[in-house]
Amino acid sequence: MLAIYTYLHAPCVLKQKTLEGRLNNLSASALYKNNFKNSTIMKSLLLTTSIFTLMMYEMPKLPYANNALEPVISQQTIDFHYGKHLQTYVNNLNGLVPGTEFGNKDLVTIVATAPDGAVFNNAGQVLNHTLYFLQFAPKPAKSEPTGKLAEAINRDFGSFENFKKEFSAAAVGLFGSGWAWLSADKNGKLVITKEANGSNPVRAGLTPLLGFDVWEHSYYLDYQNRRADHIAALWSIIDWDVVGSRLK
């Protein structure tokens, strides 16, 4: 069957674009140029455009240049981490989901519901890294959260400094590869969790706000074994407006 729609999903920007119009244009052109306007094949082709869908996941577009986060994150690390590792997760996911029960599902739904395995691992890493790369700014306008997020952090962690201390401890102390996340539960309460490998807090019904990647591929070129130094440096490039916008 002919697949028509391309589904593009990022946690912050959920968008859906259709190729139907493009196909219809191509079809119309062919119809008139080749004078088979009444072709059964072409009619069938156009009919199926509105029925069958194919979900495709795409790379998030970085809102900064690959070298803009230096010296906290080097261009070389962005080139590999974003350009190679994340691209591979995206490619893997696009190769895994067509024809499965996840073929028409959005990314968050897949991460929340897929059984352990390749689909979950790759979907989780696409979601994780999309949130991760979009939460940075070379020169953030604010050095700490404001508004609703600041209030929630003060309420649930006592102070921003104490939150940073607890979050950093979770990231530094996570054994092996994984992620430290700040999330909100269904009541708006903030929690810090450690997620192994490619998991994400959505699996526990939480809304992820801020994530630190502690897979060695995220820091080893710049910091080697000094994970704590990498974690300490990350605070200076957090775009708190982006993180705050994730708290509904």
Confirm or reject binding of residue 195 to Fe ion (CB under 5 A). no
CB atoms within 10 A of CB 181: 27
Contacts with Fe ion: how many residues (CB under 5 A)? 3
Q: What are the phi and psi torsion angles at 224 (to 5°)?
A: 50, -120
Place of tokens 């079809």: 27
Segment near Fe ion (CB under 5 A), from 70-78, 111-119, 192-200, 217-225? 217-225
Q: What would you report as the CA-atom Rg of the chain, rounded to the nearest whole angstrom? A: 21
Shortest approach of Fe ion to residue 177 CB, angstroms? 9
- Give the binding range for Fe ion (CB under 5 A) out of 56-64, 133-141, 195-203, 208-216: 208-216
Q: Which is nearer to Fe ion, 128 or 168 (CB)?
A: 128
Nearest approach, Cβ of residue 146 and Fe ion (Å) = 28
Report helix, strand or coil for 44. Answer: helix
By the 8 A CB rule, do 233 and 72 touch? yes
Binding mask 80-99 for Fe ion (x = CB under 5 A): --------------------
Alpha carbon 65 to its chain centroid, in Å, reads 18
How many angstroms separate the CA atoms of 238 and 163, rounded?
14
Point out which span in 94-102, 162-170, 210-218, 228-236 binds Fe ion (CB under 5 A): 210-218
What CA dihedral angle connects 107, 113, 116 and 119, to 10 degrees? Answer: -30
Cα–Cα distance for residue pair 27/30, rounded to 1 Å: 5
Task: Please identify, using beta-carbon distances, which residue of 48 and 91 lies nearer to Fe ion.
Answer: 91
Instruction: Report the nearest approach of Fe ion to the CB of residue 76 (Å).
Output: 14
Q: Which of 215, 219, 223, 240 binds Fe ion (CB under 5 A)?
A: 215
Binds Fe ion by CB under 5 A, chosen from 74, 77, 193, 218: 218
Between 195 and 213, whose beta carbon lies closer to Fe ion?
A: 213
In whole angstroms, the minimum distance from the beta carbon of 84 to Fe ion comes to 10
Which lies closer to Fe ion via its Cβ, residue 127 or residue 137? 127
Tell me whether the omega of the peptide bond preceding residue 71 falls within 30 degrees of 0, making it cis. Answer: yes
DSSP type of residue 213: E
Specify the residue, 69 or 247, whose C-beta has the smaller distance to Fe ion. Answer: 69
Q: Decide if residue 213 touches Fe ion (CB under 5 A).
A: yes
Residue 135 within binding range of Fe ion, rule CB under 5 A: no
How far apart, in whole angstroms, are the C-alpha atoms of residue 208 and residue 35?
A: 54
Q: Which residue is nearest to Fe ion (CB)?
A: 213
**Nearest residue to 50 (alpha-carbon basis) of 91, 1, 94:** 1
Interacting residues with Fe ion (CB under 5 A): 213, 215, 218
